[in-house]
Amino acid sequence: MESITDSQTHEVIVARSAAEVETLQEAWTTLQERQEAPIFNVEPDRLFSLVRWQQDARPHVILLNRHGAPAAMMVGSIEKVRLQCRLGYKSFLLPPLKCFTVLHRGVLGEIDTATAGLLVQELRRLLRSSEADLVFFHYLNTESPLFQVAQARMGGLCRSHFNHPVIHRTMTVPESMDAFYQGCSKKHRANLRRYIRKIEEQYGQRAVITRYTGPDQIEAFVAAAAEVSAKTYQHGLGCGLQNDEQTRDLMRTVAQHGWLRGHVMFLEGQPCAFQYGVIYRGSYFLEQIGFDPKWKDLNVGTVLFLEALQDLCRDSGGAKVIDFGFGEADYKRSYGDKCWTDATFYLFAPRLRSILTNVIFSGTTGLSLGLAHLLEKTGSLAWIKRRWRGRLQQNEAELAE
């Protein structure tokens, strides 16, 4: 473990192994308890589970102490990665580089401009060394001081450009489902109740929603959820829920803490929709959701979401907020009551190979966004997306049969 004292006011401690990370537990807990919006992704057990399934990866945690007390922490791992360049739905991979990946919301502490400056200074030190060729931030709030300082202080060749922003929405959990329905428009409220009634009338007791919370239920949940996910267009893009040991291992870590909330809807014994969420420190993090397109007309995904929401309303000591995560969707716009903008971005080492990677990556990203903007102006983008997603759904459904 490395300790760097740059002045009499602050000290930087860098942990590079599980054993070294464990020595930071007290400071880690202190910073987590100060978080206004906590996230389970930066729990030590979660970090170790993620690292375990990354090839040749190791933890990398940066602790900033000010006047001997923990002020900020950056949590992530170092591994070899290949950046993916996209042109529409086509992609290609660049040669591998050593990357310090900062976990989503993996920056703890009250980050002001001065603290952000010290963290960026440490990242520049890391990039000048041989430890990492680039730093990756996975969806950081664009209004945060860290985002602003990193963009301002890193040279144009050493930071990614065209960081496409995405909306991140949350929803306050209502006191009851009656309160939730009252907050909807009359038409929307009638539609939601009609969806539920339609399934009840057509399937009765052949429509079953099963809840999964314990470690002993992981196998059953993953098997059912993955069967549904395999038929979605997200699966075709490589974003679906996989029925593999890595998925089960990550979920076991969550379930062992009592955080797991899984729901699956079955119609006539067949899984048709799933929802995977995590309850942590008063927030419900919606991790993944999907439905079999064969049952689209029954709105099975919406009905399952309402059932999961009802469970949250009933649990008075549970979540007070639903975090929908990054990316837009109709249901997020309908139910979310707070939002902000997140963006992923990279910082590159001041070395020729890293800079050339940035030029190719940022150039391709800019070209892709430019083409998307042109298609949107001509009214073609939405049509292309619908056709492509429909094609992916059909392909995945055929493969799953």
Question: Does residue 317 carry a pLDDT above 80?
Answer: no
**Are the beta carbons of 84 and 93 closer than 8 angstroms?**
yes
Q: Which residue has the higher pLDDT, 114 or 233?
A: 114
pLDDT band at 394 (very low <50, low <70, confident <90, very high): low
Instruction: Tokens 């439905």: give the residue.
Output: 291
Question: CA–CA separation, 361 vs 136, rounded Å?
Answer: 13
SS in 3 state form for 116-149?
Answer: HHHHHHHHHHHHHCCCCCEEEEEEEECCCHHHHH
Same CATH topology for 2-165+341-377 and 174-319: the answer is yes
Q: How far is CA 98 from CA 134, 148, 216, 270, 362, in A?
A: 7, 24, 37, 44, 18
Question: Does residue 237 carry a pLDDT above 90?
Answer: no
Question: Does residue 263 carry a pLDDT above 50?
Answer: yes
Total number of residues shown for the chain:
401
Instruction: Tokens 């989503």: give the residue.
Output: 104
pLDDT tens-digit series, residues 7-37: 668 899 999 999 999 999 999 999 998 888 7
Question: Does residue 401 carry a pLDDT above 60?
Answer: no
Instruction: Check residue 301 and give its pLDDT.
Output: 95
Question: CA–CA separation, 334 vs 329, rounded Å?
Answer: 9
Tokens at residue 320, please? 């007070």
Name the percent of the chain in helix, strand, coil, to the closest 5: 45, 30, 25
Instruction: Check residue 375 and give its pLDDT.
Output: 61
Mean pLDDT computed over every residue of the chain? 89
Across the range 373-390, mean pLDDT stands at 61
Instruction: Check residue 173 and give its pLDDT.
Output: 95
Instruction: Check residue 384 and give its pLDDT.
Output: 54
Q: N- to C-terminal Cα distance for the chain?
A: 52
Q: Can you name the CATH fold of 174-319?
A: Aminopeptidase (3.40.630)
Instruction: Check residue 368 and give its pLDDT.
Output: 80
Query: Would you list the domain boundaries of the chain?
Result: 2-165+341-377, 174-319
The model's pTM is 0.86
pLDDT band at 40 (very low <50, low <70, confident <90, very high): confident
Instruction: Check residue 399 and give its pLDDT.
Output: 45
Q: Which residue has the higher pLDDT, 129 or 233?
A: 129
Across the range 336-347, mean pLDDT stands at 94
Q: Which residue has the higher pLDDT, 189 or 400?
A: 189
Across the range 346-352, mean pLDDT stands at 97
> What is the maximum alpha-carbon separation in the chain?
72
Percent of the chain residues topping a pLDDT of 70? 90
Tokens at residue 260, please? 């797991």
Q: Does domain 2-165+341-377 have CATH number 3.10.450?
A: no
Instruction: Check residue 191 and give its pLDDT.
Output: 96
Indicate the range of 82-91, 98-107, 350-359 predicted with least confidence: 82-91
Question: Does residue 252 carry a pLDDT above 60?
Answer: yes
pLDDT band at 386 (very low <50, low <70, confident <90, very high): low
pLDDT band at 193 (very low <50, low <70, confident <90, very high): very high
Question: Does residue 138 carry a pLDDT above 70?
Answer: yes
Across the range 241-256, mean pLDDT stands at 93
Q: Which residue has the higher pLDDT, 366 or 149?
A: 149
